[in-house]
Amino acid sequence: MKIYETRTAPNPRRVRMFLAEKGIDVDYVQVDIQSGENLSKEMRKKNPIGKIPILELDDGTCIAETDAICTYFESIQPEPPLMGTSPIEKATISMWQRQVEFAFMLQIGMCFQHSTGYFKDRMVPVPEYGKQAGINAAKYMSILERRLGESEFIAGDQFTIADITALCSMDFARVVNIRMKDEQVNLQRWYENVSSRASAKA
């Protein structure tokens, strides 16, 4: 199997970090998203919406979407669990994972795409929307700050996929100059903790 990815992009990092936590080695194929290599006819056969990362299995089956790729690896190698084991754990982790994705990571991505015009060859940037998305991302940091005042990790007392998503989002947010505030001490404590895991360098 192999994974098509772009080393510098935030979603592929989520997959690499997830696999590092599981101790799974996979071959990686680099795709140049800036030049639009991901939009080629060949890549769209692997993923019709033209995004990376994509996991290609040995029989040619392709799985796109970061969370779907992680779901595959969680299924074939449940240990250590990063997506929960009991019904309540699975649902709670899924809830935090999705809120971090929609209310934080997506907002940072939209701020990046609409403010910088990085992909202006393939989309119409709307800078005013980019600004709103950045404000939304900063607001969600306040929600994380409160949450991390009551639990060690985002979804509870265990490190999970939601922490991976939040860490990769937080580091990506620096690109658009969205950062933790000095008074967000719980967020900072959590950030230093998860950043120090070996998997954060994957």
- For residue 134, the 8-state DSSP code is H
131 vs 174, beta carbon nearer a second copy = 131
Q: Find the DSSP H helices in the chain.
A: 10-22, 41-46, 66-76, 87-100, 106-116, 127-147, 161-173, 185-195
Which residues share a beta bridge with 59?
Answer: none
121 vs 128, beta carbon nearer a second copy = 128
Of positions 132, 151, 188, 193, contacts a second copy by CB under 8 A: 132
Q: Does 116 bind a second copy (CB under 8 A)?
A: no
Size of the site for a second copy (CB under 8 A): 39
Q: Does 114 bind a second copy (CB under 8 A)?
A: yes
Q: Which residue has the tokens 């100059």?
A: 177
Closest to 133 in 3D by CA, of 108, 162, 150:
108
Q: Tokens standing for 184?
A: 């967000």
Q: Does 68 bind a second copy (CB under 8 A)?
A: yes
Of positions 27, 75, 182, 198, contacts a second copy by CB under 8 A: 75
Q: Tokens standing for 166?
A: 């939040």
Rounded Cα distance, 83 and 4, in Å: 23
Would you give the binding string for a second copy spanning residues 24-63, x where CB under 8 A is met?
------------------------xx-----x-x---x-x
Of positions 1, 24, 91, 185, contacts a second copy by CB under 8 A: 91
Q: Find the DSSP H helices in 79-184.
A: 87-100, 106-116, 127-147, 161-173
Other Cβ atoms closer than 10 A to 29 = 12
* Residue 14 burial (C-beta neighbours within 10 Å; 0-12, 13-18, 19+): buried
Q: Does 1 bind a second copy (CB under 8 A)?
A: no
6 vs 97, beta carbon nearer a second copy = 97
Q: Does 120 bind a second copy (CB under 8 A)?
A: no
Half-sphere exposure of 192 (CA within 13 A, CB side): 5
Name the segment binding a second copy (CB under 8 A); options: 1-9, 17-25, 122-130, 192-200: 122-130
Q: Catalog residues that contact a second copy under the rule CB under 8 A.
A: 48-49, 55, 57, 61, 63-65, 67-69, 71-72, 75-76, 86-88, 90-92, 94-95, 98-99, 102-103, 106, 114, 123-124, 126, 128-129, 132, 140, 143, 146-147
